[in-house]
Structure 1
């Protein structure tokens, strides 16, 4: 997947590629994550780590972004129900479905392209990578995109209501419980979303200066909570408290991007459900979009809401 985030030379300025502003979602829905199947960025639960082979877990996580808003836990749950993550010795059903994700060959052809990176052409439903990407596309075409109608999408994978219920239950068990947002996190998210549409201004700290740049927005969001964080993205990253790699994100976390941990060039504020708010680049406005923590430029996250929040 190509990164939303590009590099910026300045320590304060932030540069991103332009994307259309997404339709507004309610704060309550964002803080709660996506309904059914865990959030897009869910960390694996202990059960998931014990039940899913490491190779297949990484594959589900890699394939899920083929469908914006689809949690990897849904792909993993389907893989569990169909073939126990390719562990079953016979992966051919009486109806003719084959491979680890149990595709009818005719159905697979409809969702097999584009061929996943590094795979041979033509793709095959017997290959776990080809099958996982095709499964994500099938779900996306039938309601999974941005969580529009996930039960319907799963029903289209296997026309059985009980099947969809089982997949959703397993998906929930695969997602680690998200950290409960603090009052400070609620306030920071609410402030950041209230700035949607505000112009980007390099070095800007708010409407009095005509707008925000990326770190000006995040600093102002936390100033609204009574928590003081540094002004520049690199200093905000260094100030922490940093989250361990792979930790479950919570609303209010700051996401950092750059060429290395010592060269941070952009920061956004995570609002839940795989979404973030940021001030991207000159000529743009404050906007909401995918958090892009799967980007090669993602350097890590911090949780400023842990600092000085007496309401926890």
Structure 2
């Protein structure tokens, strides 16, 4: 009996170790875990005023912003908030979409040199980018939830969401039919009903100041 219990303990410790390793090194595993932790109808309560302010500013439904945020970074629980292709921040903007496509890039998908300060408001204004200084602190930072949410709201609004063309706007944001379908699923869910929740644990570290 003791030998069986000892073997069980060892196996349990090994499984825990494997789970921790997967969590730390595998983005897909983390995404699946975070997705399971947040139910389909749940929205972090502290984020709702941010969505509402940005949505009102650019005349789009705040639930649409919440849905995009849910799909892009699972409400900013993903770590790091940088995609394999270079999309950045809470709402996953490519750097050249953020600072403007007239700025020279290093590839065709929207990356720039690492030394470029993409939070530079003057640079963004010069190149007509979507980066937004919503907090008024002099920087337009895709890793600031307020800035990123306002930038996403502006993008969606200008690409049709202001006129109710939500699917067209979403396809411009991410050219994938599956993406549009997923965001629209959450959008319809949140419009019908939603449950405000509090983020906890490691999730809190990604909340905007």
TM-score range, shorter chain: 0.5 to 0.7
Per-residue deviation, residues 93-136 of structure 1 (Å, max 9, x unmatched): 011001111111211221124x22x3311211111100000000
Q: TM-score, normalised by structure 1?
A: 0.38
Closer/same/farther in 2, CA of residues 162 and 112 from structure 1, 3 Å limit:
same
2:136 & 2:68 partners in 1: Cα distance?
22
Any idea what SS the aligned residue of 2:83 has? coil
Paired residue secondary structure (1:52)? strand
Whether 1:159 aligns to 2:179 is no
The answer to whether the aligner puts 1:143 opposite 2:143 as a matched pair is no
Which of the residues 51, 61, 69 maps onto 2:52? 61
Superposition deviation, residue 47 in structure 1: 6.0
In the alignment, structure 1 segments of 5+ residues that lack a partner are 1-45, 178-312
Counterparts in 2 of 1:86 and 1:159: CA distance versus 1, 3 Å: same
Contact 1:74–1:171 (8 Å) recurs in 2:
yes
Instruction: Tell me how far 1:166 sits from its aligned partner.
Output: 0.8
Alignment of 1:35-184 (within 5 A): 48=41, 51-68=42-59, 70-109=60-99, 110-113=129-132, 115-116=133-134, 118-147=135-164, 149-176=165-192
Contact 2:82 2:92 in 1 (8 A): yes
Which digits, 9 at most, give the CA deviation of each residue in 1:41-85, with x for residues without a partner? xxxxx964xx221121221111111222x1111110110111111
The CA distance in 2 between the partners of 1:158 and 1:55, in whole Å, is 26
Task: Return the alpha-carbon distance in structure 1 between the equivalents of residues 186 and 40 of structure 2.
Answer: 10
The secondary structure found in structure 1 opposite 2:55 is: helix
The 8 Å contact of residues 40 and 186 in structure 2, kept in 1 or not, is answered as no
User: Which of structures 1 and 2 has the bigger CA Rg?
Assistant: 1
Do the aligned residues in 2 keep the contact of 1:63 with 1:132 (CA within 8 Å)?
yes
TM-score by length of 2: 0.56
State the distance in 1 between where 2:92 and 2:57 align.
19
Structure 2 gap segments, 5+ residues each: 1-38, 100-128, 194-209
Q: Which runs of 4+ in 1 moved over 2 A?
A: none
Higher strand share: 1
